[in-house]
Structure 1
Amino acid sequence: MIQRTLVIALSAALALAPSIAGADPAKAKAKPKSKVAKTVAPQVCTDFYSTLNKDWLNANKAPEGAAVNSAMAVLQANSIQQQRQLLDAAMTAPQNQNQKLLGDFWASGLDEASIETDGSKSIAPLIQRVNSIKRAKDIPAAIAALHQVGIPVAFNFSADVDLNDLNRHIGYFSQGGLGLPDAAFYTRNDADTVALMSRYRDYVKNILTLTGSDAGKVANDVNLVMGIESSIAKFSKPAQATRDPRTAYAAMPIANLKNQYRNLQLAEFIAAQGVKDDMVSMVDPQYFAQLDALVKNTSTEQWKTYLRYQIGHAMAPYLSRSFRQAEGEFFGRVFRNETTAPPRWQQVLAAINLAAGPMLGREYVSRYVPSGAASRAESVAKDVVEALSRRIDSNTWMSAAAKQEAKSKLGKTTIEIGAPRRDLDYTIQPMGRGSFGGNMLIASTWRHAQEMKRIGKGNADRRWDVLPQDAALGYDMAHNRIIITAAILQAPVIDMTQPQAAQYGALGALIGHELTRGFDNRGRMVDAGGNLRDWWTPQDASGWNSKMTAIASQYSAHPYPELSGAKVNGALTREQDTADLAGLELAWDALAKGGAPDVANATAFFNGWGRLWPQAMSKEAAALQQATSSYSPGKWRTNGPLANMPEFATAFKCKAGTPMSLPAAQQVKIWR
């Protein structure tokens, strides 16, 4: 089914944790200052994270395996439950046509008896279309038709930012067409890969049997499918080599496609997708040249078998139990590490988000954005933007020319909260409750058409690459905008029951973190006009890099939770660690614009930050995070930046040299 394009928003799901004794403003008034200093300050100044989050850490244990239990995950889980409640209500009492569609979709997915009765009827017209292929020139039209319903075969085609003009989207042709996620599986011959490929062949056999292969012919049909996939794999690049978007872009006129790829009929493919543009991106013409030859030189019967398998493979999670079991036994166990299938409602919700996520998001925003939260978030965001403007003027590491460009870029930064400003066309055929598989095809056809509408001039900001119901807050570098989803507008990120200072410490610091990314060693590559160019001088780069180096040195000395003798990989986490400190500096400055906060507001601010990050993880999870994650563990996302802020030490009366108050000479300053 349809895959999302490059996600450029930072997903962060956050949840509320208890405040520390004596640090909450209301409690601070009830206790003598001397008692607070004697009983609280030593713990706070040694390990603020563990003191603040003591109750949460005692109540939440590490899950088994490589999963991480965190306050961030709680907010995302809350969003999932809200989506479930919304769909339940839409199923029984829809309030509008969009809810009627979603309610029917939801009901059809939960009705397993009807799904069993429906079997594979929903994909029968697609299979019939493939089976009706008579000659090689019929194959491209079948490929185009499957792309239209959200089943990409032979290759991928998606909408994404045009790197020559960030104000528009362009269609990207890229490699694809494989049942497995990496071409290397088809070419390696080590024992583990051989064993995996044997299991994959069994899966292909199951899907082919379920989609019409005779028992006496299915072994040969498996060979036909594997033959095409192996051929495609041989001229595909390893997955690792395709992950950098800068190497995945090469613009070319659509007019060139007609003569270069006669067998694939790519110009006709573009028209079939409803794209009205004159350019596409094709970074690997040789891949498509070889695919073009494969259409010509491979038998029609082999292509028909391959396409029939791809239909069954793409739709297997949404059909009867035999399809779902086949998919779960292989992909669920091997690639998703599932020992048992998730609850049915979770599977259906995931399917709806994949095929009709924006439809669900539209209803989520209207139902779950707390009253006043969006306006408060906008107010905080604007204050943080103003704080950055002041700090650009006063910082000492940025050159005059860079400051001028930065101010110009910041002046064009926009803030979008809740949902995208530009809505979609929700004209979609009725779904009904009779066929979940049929509804998946209806919804994914609509979603694909909406993706294709993004291509062309004036459509660059038409949608986000994250859904409103995803708990996310991020900086969209291509469009110079801060994105704050509806799902993130909940406690503790923005808790309307807490002092306003706490909202600056949580939401404000996260906004500052993301906003900084537009003006750091990555943001320097996009100027105020939206052009890809480096607007820093070598001295600017040196100044920034020296700060990241100092941060990396600090964090590399921090012990990694749950791992004996291991330290945080500061070289891996330094960009995010630097952004954390920068975000807190900006949020503090935004809070303090009317004057230095009093003790109650100062402690509320730092509590707001610390409540975002409690987490519990097993040794296995910690080892994986330590080796691969660009984020520090929660303890150091909390304590690390605060130890660099003299305002924290003042608020909690921490003496210089204590763990939470680094000596002034050792403190790193980003925007101060």
Structure 2
Amino acid sequence: MTLRPLACALALSLIAGLASPSAEAQKKKRAAKAKAPAVAAACTDFYGSANADWLKANTLLPGVPSLSALEQLSDRARAQQVELLNTAMAAPQGNVQKLLGDFWASGLDEASVERDGANPVAPLLARINAIKKAKDVPASIAALHQVGIPVAFNFGADVDLQDLGRHIGYFSQGGLGLSDPAFYTRTDAETRAVLGHYNNYVQKILALTGTPQAQLAAEAQQVIDLETRIAQSSKPLAQLRDPRANYAPVATATLAKTYKRLQLAEFLKAQGVTDDSVSIANPALFAQLDALVGGLKPAQWKTYLRWRVGDAMAPYLAKPWRDAHFDFRGRMLAGQAAPAPRQQQVLDAINLAAGPMLGREYVGRYLPAANKARAEEIATNVRAALGAALDRDPRLGAAAKAEARAKLANLKIEIGAPKRDLDYTVQPMGRGSYGGNILIASTWHHREEMKRIGRGNADRRWDVLPQQPALAYDLAQNRLIVTAAMLQPPVLDLSRETAAQYGAYGALVGHELSHGFDSRGRMVDARAEVRDWWTPAEIGAWEALGNRVSAQYGGFAYPELSGIRLNGSQTRDENIADLAGVELAWAAYNAAQPAATKEAKQAFYKGWASLWPQQLTTDAATQHAARNVHAPGQWRANGPVMNLASFGEAYGCKAGTPMQLQAEQQIRIWP
């Protein structure tokens, strides 16, 4: 591809050698004029200049609210998953691919799903219908949790806030068919209307589980009555946003005596949990559940449990179940016009129930060794740049710098997939029952989740799947997580210059690593203990920096919105991380390539800008402006570079131009 331009250049040089001096001078003037617009564009709106081709080629289609380069990356990752599953269905290699191929095939075969009807849930309903006494209820609750259908409450593994090196089991509120407990207690007309639609939906599902027509209204009211009692003892959702509000460890040895009728000690045994403590942050709720087990007739519990099974499994059963589920949850609650295409529904279900299985195969197929090696190399270099930045940070005192060095030394970099694999011993699936396969996969998934509970298991899993594009800093485990799906264009493109790789992937790494040492990261120290290791003076210095960033970004006009500016306070922490990420990646690149050319330096910044091209409708922009903690793409690209003298040098932008602030206006995270 370089031969034709080179030949043209040689030809032009020969012609220029024969030209007169005055003609030569005029040619130089014309050449200078031809180059001027490109330079001016980069110095006026680098985002628009660097992404001009993308923005021209990617206009929004009717009904599509947004499009971005990173959304396209997610779409590509989903297409890769479909390709993998199609291959596993046609010619599986190994046990895991056989499971996935059968699962996929059973979900795509709609005729088979219709023939299967309600057979997948028949054994669950039979067990529920066999309940005779109050003491039978807790065992059925435990059994449904085992197959991935949480009823009455939620129970899951999460980090122990007093010991970040382990997970404990969290007993938390749940068991409701509506997402917010307030739906059951508010009396306004809109809420009452939602509850009326919900009652109709409950009746449809109960009818499908076997309730006679004459009893539907009464049984639906029993369900809503029981859920209302649970909701009345539940905390408002706003109170649950702080993780500490959900954390209240108690000794498991006390559960049998405290919750005799609910049988929580036996519940833990059924889940395979033998740890010495669990969290119960709302004991009043569990006292209420304990009382309800003994105080309500078993028949009411049976109705509630049948409903919960039907609601949870409806998307995976025959059409009457799916239609009832979509009419309420899709059309009424979510405002969707039509269900997602069948293929997308099945892929989502596999990710939900067997995501780690799919992730294992995805890594093997779509993460080349070269990509992983380059990702580790760049991340390691950016981590080193962060160490140098922390050492020279004028805001941190000697003690904080020592703590930061120790924390950085302990920071782990995990690329592609979690380091510990899972146990894939699973009941064979086959292709005859999609709903049955959902239950097999959910049972396996729950079993593996329960293994996270206990000492030494906190790093067992990620909170993202390898097949989902993600690059994140895990605060509790002090580790950088980069999924396999993330290591492809525009984030990491081995066909581009090394500089562009640092500008894109390296800057994202720097962004995430900075979170370990910012106003959030300061709450966990080098020993993974939850404590604030900054002094008041250091906190004040950081807040002063944050106020400058908030003010600067608050002056930017929001794309697609007339008269609306970016909320600098709402986006402050992520804007700081963007600035930090580009600074660190630039330092790491210059350390790795100290003799970089001007063109290479420009490629670094083009790599950064290539992450952020974005198209938004006015409605989508309005929603983003109101809620998103990230700046829109234009300012994620432009905000950092206008603060960096190195960008101005690379592109010849003079101080005072839009993309090169005056020196006294520039903000540096690490001077």
Shorter-normalised TM range: over 0.9
1:453 aligned onto 2:451: yes
Q: Is the 8 A contact 1:65 1:621 kept in 2?
A: no
Deviations for 1:15-65, whole angstroms, at most 9, x for unmatched residues? xxxxxxx9xxx9xxx999845741211111110111111122122234666
Q: Is the 8 A contact 2:503 2:607 kept in 1?
A: yes
Partner of 1:569: 567
Structure 2: 5+ residue stretches without partners: 14-26
Deviations for 1:137-194, whole angstroms, at most 9, x for unmatched residues? 0000000000000000000000000001000000000000100111011111112111
Q: Is the 8 A contact 1:66 1:620 kept in 2?
A: no
Give 1:34-113 correspondences, 5 Å limit: 34=32, 37-62=35-60, 67-113=65-111
Partner of 1:7: none
Give 1:131-530 correspondences, 5 Å limit: 131-530=129-528
User: Cα offset for 1:539?
Assistant: 1.5
Deviations for 1:401-434, whole angstroms, at most 9, x for unmatched residues? 1111000000000100000000001100100001
More moved, 454-463 vs 244-253: 244-253
Partner of 1:648: 647
CA, structure 1 residues 181+432, in 2 after alignment: closer, same or farther (shift >3 Å)?
same
Deviations for 1:457-510, whole angstroms, at most 9, x for unmatched residues? 110101111000000000000000000000001011110100001000000000
Amino acid at match of 2:379: A
Amino acid at match of 1:285: P
CA distance in structure 2 between the aligned counterparts of 1:597 and 1:641, rounded to whole angstroms: 21
CA distance in structure 1 between the aligned counterparts of 2:334 and 2:377, rounded to whole angstroms: 41
Q: Is the 8 A contact 2:69 2:490 kept in 1?
A: no
Q: Is the 8 A contact 1:71 1:615 kept in 2?
A: yes
User: Cα offset for 1:666?
Assistant: 0.5
How does the TM-score come out when normalised to structure 1? 0.94
CA distance in structure 2 between the aligned counterparts of 1:548 and 1:593, rounded to whole angstroms: 28
CA distance in structure 2 between the aligned counterparts of 1:322 and 1:553, rounded to whole angstroms: 55
1:624 aligned onto 2:594: no
CA distance in structure 2 between the aligned counterparts of 1:116 and 1:252, rounded to whole angstroms: 47
CA distance in structure 1 between the aligned counterparts of 2:644 and 2:459, rounded to whole angstroms: 37
Amino acid at match of 1:116: E
User: Cα offset for 1:378?
Assistant: 0.1
User: Cα offset for 1:310?
Assistant: 0.2
CA distance in structure 1 between the aligned counterparts of 2:153 and 2:370, rounded to whole angstroms: 46
User: Cα offset for 1:556?
Assistant: 0.5
1:667 aligned onto 2:666: yes
Partner of 1:6: none
User: Cα offset for 1:370?
Assistant: 3.0
**What SS class does the counterpart of residue 372 from structure 1 fall into?**
helix
CA RMSD for the aligned pairs? 1.6
CA distance in structure 2 between the aligned counterparts of 1:655 and 1:531, rounded to whole angstroms: 47
CA distance in structure 2 between the aligned counterparts of 1:283 and 1:446, rounded to whole angstroms: 27
CA, structure 1 residues 533+65, in 2 after alignment: closer, same or farther (shift >3 Å)?
farther
Partner of 1:551: 549
Amino acid at match of 2:249: A
Partner of 2:117: 119
**What SS class does the counterpart of residue 148 from structure 2 fall into?**
coil
Deviations for 1:613-640, whole angstroms, at most 9, x for unmatched residues? 0111111111111011100000000001
CA distance in structure 2 between the aligned counterparts of 1:645 and 1:400, rounded to whole angstroms: 27
Amino acid at match of 2:77: S
Amino acid at match of 1:537: T
User: Cα offset for 1:66?
Assistant: 8.3
CA distance in structure 2 between the aligned counterparts of 1:37 and 1:182, rounded to whole angstroms: 59
Question: How many matched pairs?
Answer: 646
Amino acid at match of 1:600: E
CA, structure 1 residues 197+462, in 2 after alignment: closer, same or farther (shift >3 Å)?
same
User: Cα offset for 1:335?
Assistant: 3.4
| More helix, by proportion | 2
Deviations for 1:328-382, whole angstroms, at most 9, x for unmatched residues? 1110123333211111000000000000000000000000013400000000000
Deviations for 1:277-330, whole angstroms, at most 9, x for unmatched residues? 111011111110011111111111000000000000000111011111111111
Q: Is the 8 A contact 2:67 2:614 kept in 1?
A: yes
Q: Is the 8 A contact 1:644 1:661 kept in 2?
A: yes
Q: Is the 8 A contact 1:606 1:648 kept in 2?
A: yes
CA distance in structure 2 between the aligned counterparts of 1:57 and 1:515, rounded to whole angstroms: 30
User: Cα offset for 1:598?
Assistant: 2.2
CA, structure 1 residues 129+396, in 2 after alignment: closer, same or farther (shift >3 Å)?
same
User: Cα offset for 1:443?
Assistant: 0.2
Q: Is the 8 A contact 2:70 2:490 kept in 1?
A: no
Structure 1: 5+ residue stretches without partners: 1-21
Partner of 1:5: none
CA distance in structure 1 between the aligned counterparts of 2:611 and 2:77, rounded to whole angstroms: 16
**What SS class does the counterpart of residue 165 from structure 2 fall into?**
strand
CA distance in structure 1 between the aligned counterparts of 2:64 and 2:308, rounded to whole angstroms: 31
CA distance in structure 1 between the aligned counterparts of 2:65 and 2:148, rounded to whole angstroms: 31
